[in-house]
């Protein structure tokens, strides 16, 4: 396919009226902070703590949240959520959360990815974005992507210290992890799945989760 | 897809007379505009973000070769493979070959406008694959064997009754025999049918809203989560993307994302914004084993070199069509190809030729609303005017129109004769109309009067006569 590559690149250069850029020009482009070579333009956030602004954004898109004071409280909170929704005390759980005391809360966890048989999935977010109430989840052996999409109920553990004002701070943190920083999938999730494809009527739970619940751990 | 744009006029008439379509269009019209206005009004930085977005796109286009090379190298480093397609034919062949090489049978697809543009589905079906669209709107129009009528809401022209009929006809084979009436149960039934398809698919094909050069990442934006199930469950993930989708960094993509959701649906952020880089990593327990990106030119490099470069800034939000009175009246199918509305009226003639699609740039009132709402400030009315000019130069327009224009030019460049002519004409019409002051009928203008409209006759003096009198009065 290298013929295709050269053909397209040559057509671009013809249209730009120049040859290939020299090494210096390319190095200068690589040294820029993005296309505009200036600090990202970040919208000013409403007044309030990060947790408050995040909660407002999440609730605006029909997400829900409970605030916990320690990670140990997660299994109990999950059990409460499941019971409150009339669900059996079962959940597909991300390996990163395996060590929590699920049995103590009466939950039978299935650890690892799901193929769709689970009503609830529990995974952990790498960052939370206050601006939009979004969760940033990284794929990996300890946090399989299928948990984010196949279960009807998606529960996400987020540490308060991982809240950032804007998505841009998450990218900066990812870049610090170096070349290996980008996992296969970064999911930025803002509320439960929805569609408006039939008569523009909004309906939750199109293909992904019907509800999204965040467990914010201080 | 074979363009039908040459039949634009006939198709517009059908659309205007289609009562079901008119019901659907009226529902859509205000919904989008109001939601967008509300979301934009709540973000004081919106106008500055638009300026920033224009800079991002312009800079990337000026250095497109560099950023595409950086992007492709990064994809390869992450274990993916990049394919370059100069034409629609190349793109179709590459996608079919990847699917054949992987031994696939069933393919799921997320919504991809460039996929529609190059005709991926037709090529795959011809090669014997089962292809299932997973975006609910795309799924509905696939069942109806229709092209999309809107780039964001492809089945916006369908009513729930029509969709219920389609599901009733097509879901019997899955044992789902009850005829549905309500939106939630229809969404649920589609969810149930498509869930099995996701799990059975061998290949998932998605488009890309952005490609990030720095990391070799493709970005898709969906509300349903269909794109995610499509790209994470099958063992092969193919991304089809136009070469203009690349941006240097994730920060650049984030700026554009703030504009995309608000402009398209009035959402601050679309539900799922998904960044994929390469195939699954060692140790990953899910994700595809193969990751392919097909970078598609198909006329884009030509646009880069002529006066239509600005069109390559387009992020496919659909705001221009949501605010277009012509689109609002006739819907997307009348345009006869993949892209409707103002952006489609620019792209279609460039892709399929002015001879086929010359009517589209003329079907515009030049009210400028599309340019006002375009998040990347594409001067759509100017581009449409440029296409009209090009059509005139190529002598493609209808002969009576060309003669009419030539006569008009002659009159307007001879002001004395023009003024005398209009004065005489205004008096004549006023006399002919008599005391009623209006015409019920007039030769050669039959269609204008259809629907019970009268033409008011000119009254009093011409504008120039009044103007000159006032100027004298001032002096």
| Statement: residue B395 has pLDDT above 90 | no
| Statement: residue B282 has pLDDT above 80 | yes
Cβ count within 10 A of residue B74: 22
Distance CA B34, CA A166 (A): 26
Distance CA B239, CA B293 (A): 5
Q: Which domains does chain A have, with CATH numbers?
A: 2-31 (no CATH), 50-217 (3.40.50.10420)
Q: Give the pLDDT confidence of A118-160 residue by residue, as tens digits.
A: 999 999 999 999 999 999 999 999 999 999 999 999 999 999 9
Q: What is the mean pLDDT of residues B363-392?
A: 96
Secondary structure of residue A1 in the 3-state scheme: coil
Q: What is the DSSP string of B11-37?
A: HHHHHHH-HHHHHHHHHHHHHHHHHHH
**Element spanning A216, H or E:** strand A211-217
Cβ count within 10 A of residue B341: 29
Mutation choice for A interface testing from B272, B282, B310 by most A CBs within 10 A: B272
Q: What is the mean pLDDT of residues A211-215?
A: 98
**Element spanning B439, H or E:** strand B438-439
Percent of chain B at pLDDT above 90?
80
Mean pLDDT of chain A: 95
Give the pair of three-digit tokens for residue B75. Answer: 């994809």
Distance CA B114, CA B275 (A): 19
Q: How many separate helices (H) and strands (E) can be counted in chain A?
A: 6, 12
Distance CA B283, CA B268 (A): 35
Instruction: Tell me the ipTM for this assembly.
Output: 0.97
State the pLDDT confidence band at A179, using cuts at 50, 70 and 90.
low
Q: B64 to chain A: which residues are within 8 Å by CB? A: 12, 16
Cβ burial A64-90 (10 Å sphere, 16+ → b, else e)? ebeebeebebbbbbbbebbeeeeeebb
∠ CA B163-B339-B57, rounded to 5°: 125
Query: Which residues have a Cβ under 8 Å from the Cβ of A86 and sit 6 or more positions away?
Result: none
* A171–B254 CB contact, under 8 Å: yes
Give the strand pairing for B272-276 and B217-222. antiparallel
Shortest Cα distance from B251 to chain A (angstroms)? Answer: 6
* B255–A167 CB contact, under 8 Å: no
Task: Give the range with max mean pLDDT: B137-151, B410-424, B451-465.
Answer: B137-151
Query: Which residues have a Cβ under 8 Å from the Cβ of A201 and sit 6 or more positions away?
Result: B183
For residue B268, what are the CA distances in angstroms to A166, A169, B172, B263, B370? 13, 18, 39, 9, 20
For residue A117, what are the CA distances in angstroms to A75, A114, A152, B199, B369? 20, 7, 10, 11, 49
Q: What is the mean pLDDT of residues A52-57?
A: 98
The pLDDT value recorded for residue A8 is 98
* A132–B268 CB contact, under 8 Å: yes
- Residues making up chain A, counted from first to last: 218
| Statement: residue B164 has pLDDT above 80 | yes
The domain defined by B43-301 folds into Rossmann fold (3.40.50)
Q: Give the pLDDT confidence of B10-48 residue by residue, as tens digits.
A: 999 999 999 999 998 988 877 899 999 999 999 999 999
Q: What is the DSSP string of B195-235?
A: HHHHHH-SEEEE--SEEETTTTEEEEEESSSHHHHHHHSSS
The answer, for A186 touching chain B at a CB cutoff of 8 Å, is yes
Q: What is the mean pLDDT of residues B161-177?
A: 96
Q: Give the pLDDT confidence of B237-281 residue by residue, as tens digits.
A: 999 999 999 999 999 999 999 999 999 999 999 999 999 999 999
The answer, for B64 touching chain A at a CB cutoff of 8 Å, is yes
Secondary structure of residue A185 in the 3-state scheme: strand
Q: B216 to chain A: which residues are within 8 Å by CB? A: 182
Give the pair of three-digit tokens for residue B76. Answer: 């390869």
Mean pLDDT of chain B: 93
Is B326 buried (19+), middle (13-18) or exposed (0-12) by CB count in 10 A? buried
Q: Which residues pair with A156 in a beta bridge?
A: A123, A214
Distance CA A52, CA A42 (A): 19
Q: B275 to chain A: which residues are within 8 Å by CB? A: 182, 185-188
Distance CA B431, CA A78 (A): 84
Q: Which of A166-180, B178-192, B309-323 has the lowest mean pLDDT?
A: A166-180
State the pLDDT confidence band at B401, using cuts at 50, 70 and 90.
confident
Q: Give the pLDDT confidence of B61-90 residue by residue, as tens digits.
A: 999 999 999 999 999 999 999 999 999 999
Across the interface, of A7, A26, A35, the residue whose CB is closest to B55 is A35
Q: What is the mean pLDDT of residues B137-158?
A: 94
Cβ count within 10 A of residue B114: 25
B80 close to B278: Cβ distance less than 8 angstroms? yes
The answer, for A15 touching chain B at a CB cutoff of 8 Å, is yes
Tell me how far apart the terminal alpha carbons of chain B are, to the nearest angstrom.
65
Secondary structure of residue B65 in the 3-state scheme: helix
The pLDDT value recorded for residue A1 is 46
| pTM, full prediction | 0.92
What residue in B sits closest to A37 (Cα-Cα)?
Answer: B56
Annotated domain spans of chain B: 43-301, 400-474
Residue B127 has what DSSP assignment?
T
Chain centroid to CA A70 = 21
∠ CA B202-B206-B212, rounded to 5°: 125
What residue in B sits closest to A15 (Cα-Cα)?
Answer: B305
């Amino acid at each position: 396919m290298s013929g295709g590559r050269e053909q397209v690149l040559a057509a671009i250069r013809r249209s730009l009226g120049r040859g290939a850029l020299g090494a210096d020009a390319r190095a200068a482009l690589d040294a820029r902070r993005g296309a505009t070579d200036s600090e990202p333009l970040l919208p000013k956030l409403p007044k309030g703590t990060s947790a408050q602004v995040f909660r407002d954004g999440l609730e605006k898109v029909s997400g829900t949240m409970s605030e916990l004071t320690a990670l140990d409280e997660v299994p109990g909170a999950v059990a409460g959520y499941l019971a409150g929704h009339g669900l059996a005390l079962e959940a597909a759980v991300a390996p990163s959360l395996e060590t929590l005391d699920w049995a103590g809360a009466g939950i039978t966890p299935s650890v690892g990815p799901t193929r769709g048989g689970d009503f609830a999935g529990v995974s952990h977010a790498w960052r939370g974005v206050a601006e939009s109430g979004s969760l940033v989840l990284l794929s990996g052996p300890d946090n399989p992507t299928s948990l984010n999409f196949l279960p009807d109920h998606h529960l996400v553990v987020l540490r308060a210290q991982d809240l950032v004002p804007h998505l841009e701070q998450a990218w900066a943190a990812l870049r610090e992890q170096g070349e290996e920083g980008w996992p296969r999938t970064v999911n930025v999730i803002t509320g439960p799945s929805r569609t408006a494809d039939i008569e523009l009527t909004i309906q939750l739970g199109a293909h992904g989760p019907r509800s999204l619940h965040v467990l914010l751990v201080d | 897809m074979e363009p039908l744009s040459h039949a634009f006029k006939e198709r517009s008439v059908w659309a205007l007379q289609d009562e079901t379509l008119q019901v659907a269009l009226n529902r859509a019209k205000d919904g989008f505009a109001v939601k967008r206005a509300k979301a934009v009004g709540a973000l004081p930085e919106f106008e500055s973000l638009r300026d920033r977005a224009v800079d991002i796109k312009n800079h990337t286009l000026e250095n497109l070769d560099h950023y595409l090379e950086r992007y492709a190298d990064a994809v390869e480093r992450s274990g993916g493979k990049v394919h370059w397609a100069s034409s629609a034919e190349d793109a179709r062949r590459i996608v079919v070959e990847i699917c054949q090489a992987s031994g696939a049978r069933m393919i799921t697809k997320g919504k991809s406008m460039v996929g529609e543009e190059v005709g991926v589905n037709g090529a795959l079906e011809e090669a014997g694959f089962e292809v299932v669209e997973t975006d609910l709107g795309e799924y509905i129009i696939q069942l109806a064997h229709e092209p999309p009528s809107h780039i964001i809401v492809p089945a916006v022209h369908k009513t729930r009754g029509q969709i219920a009929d389609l599901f009733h006809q097509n879901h019997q084979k899955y044992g789902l025999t009850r005829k549905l009436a309500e939106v939630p149960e229809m969404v649920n039934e589609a969810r149930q049918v498509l869930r099995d398809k996701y799990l059975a698919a061998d290949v998932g094909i998605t488009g890309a809203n952005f490609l990030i050069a720095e990391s070799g990442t493709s970005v898709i934006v969906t509300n349903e989560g269909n794109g995610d199930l499509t790209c994470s469950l099958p063992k092969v993930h193919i991304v089809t993307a136009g070469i203009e989708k690349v941006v240097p960094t994730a920060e650049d993509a984030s700026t554009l994302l703030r504009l995309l959701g608000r402009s398209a649906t009035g959402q601050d952020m679309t539900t799922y914004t998904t960044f994929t880089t390469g195939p699954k990593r060692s140790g990953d327990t899910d994700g595809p084993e193969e990751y392919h990106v097909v970078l598609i030119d198909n006329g884009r490099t030509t646009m880069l070199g002529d006066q239509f470069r600005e069109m390559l800034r387009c992020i496919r939000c659909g705001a221009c069509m949501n605010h277009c009175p012509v689109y609002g009246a006739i819907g997307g199918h009348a345009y006869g190809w993949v892209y409707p509305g103002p952006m489609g009226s620019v792209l279609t003639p460039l892709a399929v030729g002015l001879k086929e699609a010359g009517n589209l740039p003329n079907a515009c009132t030049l009210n400028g609303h599309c340019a006002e709402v375009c998040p990347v400030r594409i001067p759509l009315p100017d581009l449409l005017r440029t296409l009209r000019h090009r059509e005139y130069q190529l002598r493609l327009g209808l002969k009576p129109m060309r003669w009419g224009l030539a006569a008009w030019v002659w009159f307007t460049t001879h002001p004395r004769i023009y003024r005398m002519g209009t004065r005489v004409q205004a008096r004549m019409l006023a006399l002919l109309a008599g005391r009623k002051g209006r015409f019920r009928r007039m030769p050669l203008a039959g269609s204008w009067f259809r629907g019970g409209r009268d033409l008011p006759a000119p009254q009093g003096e011409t504008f120039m006569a009044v103007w000159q009198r006032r100027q004298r009065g001032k002096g």
